[in-house]
Amino acid sequence: MPASTSTRSSTGDTVSSTRSPSAADEETLRLDHVLEARRTLRGRVLETPLFSSTRTSERVGASVFLKAELFQHTGSFKPRGVLAKLASLSPAERERGVVAASSGNHAQALAYCARELGIDCVAVMWEGVSRLKIDATAGYGATVDLVARDAFEASDRARELAASTGLTLVPAYDDRAVMAGQGTVGLEILESVPDLDAVVVPVSGGGLIAGIAVAVKSLRPRTRIIAVEPASSPSLARALSAGRPVPVSAASIADSLGAPAVGELCLAAVAPLLDDVVHVGEDEIREATVWLYRTAKLACEPAGAATTAALLSRRANVKRADSVVAIVSGGNVDLADAARLLSPG
């Protein structure tokens, strides 16, 4: 029988999905995979700080904590999943090198981690991505390929390079090892906030929320998992409605939340565990970015502020007595963009 799942969208409607058993079930993410990733990553990634945010708590009416993944190596949570994946490669695969398509944060993480492990790396990026992220990726030692014109072409080109050169493709999210590595964020959160009522997680391709949801729900089932995505790029909501990944446009100032579609494995892992999917607008993301700069002194990128936007706008359903953690997922924003965001008017 097909598996049926449902969740509630930010409008209050129930969004259902039905999928049949497939090869994806062989890659089902479990808690033991996340725990194994934690052992693999120990001493290789930072255990990022978790701050209480008094002013945010007062405004939201709940006890709000910020998980500051912008302080991770390369400025985002991405090295967790990348290192977990690279650790799973055979000696022959490491010798041949790795390749990935990315708008920036995954590319930087792969370049950094590959350099640390002595692995050659090609990062496929495209026209219009942040120059800061391109330069940082190259600075970590990757060969940056800029032939593609958009995220869809970049994904195709990365696969073509893997097939033609023998490089190993390292997915940005749709891979069990990658999801397991990202799930270590959830383990750290539960260690810091054992009475956690809700965790608010940004969504792009779905690797971060899949890993966190599996880790948190396995250890504390009553904790609510709230997904946040830009209203202009609702990849998760559309996938849940269709029962499969659906391509969406990546049109948001939160460029790191612009995956072409949610991953198939990510969708399978997270769909049964979600409690809510919240959509935030561009002005709400912008306001939350400024809020975190000014009140929490966190120089995050817009994608990193999306979860705070969901709380400040009251779109995320949290109660007054709740303990809530919002993931601040990254801080890779160049000075010119930051200045525009922070300038009044």
pLDDT in tens, the chain (345 residues): 334 344 443 333 333 333 444 444 568 999 999 999 999 999 999 999 999 999 999 999 999 999 999 999 999 999 999 999 999 999 999 999 999 999 889 999 999 999 999 999 999 998 888 888 899 999 999 999 999 998 889 999 999 999 999 999 999 999 999 999 999 999 999 999 999 999 999 999 999 999 999 999 999 999 999 999 999 999 999 999 999 999 988 778 898 898 889 999 999 999 999 999 999 999 999 999 999 999 999 999 999 999 999 999 999 999 988 999 999 999 988 777 777 777 765
* Shared fold status for 3-77+175-342 and 79-169: yes
**172-188 CB burial, b ≥16 within 10 A, e <16:** bbbbbbbbbbbbbbbbb
3: β partners: 19
- Please count the other Cβ atoms lying within 10 Å of the Cβ belonging to residue 294: 11
* φ/ψ (deg, to 5) at 97: 100, 175
Give residue limits of the domains in the chain: 3-77+175-342, 79-169
Pair of tokens at residue 321 = 């007595």
Check if 252 is active-site.
Answer: no
How many angstroms separate the CA atoms of 326 and 319, rounded?
14
pTM (whole model) above 0.85: yes
Q: Which amino acid is at 199?
A: V
How many angstroms separate the CA atoms of 114 and 91, rounded?
13
Q: Which of 76, 130, 233, 329 is catalytic?
A: 329
Q: Which of 63, 76, 78, 313 is catalytic?
A: 78
How many angstroms separate the CA atoms of 240 and 319, rounded?
25
Check if 78 is active-site.
Answer: yes
Fold classification of 3-77+175-342 (topology level): Rossmann fold (3.40.50)
Q: Which CATH class is domain 79-169?
A: alpha beta
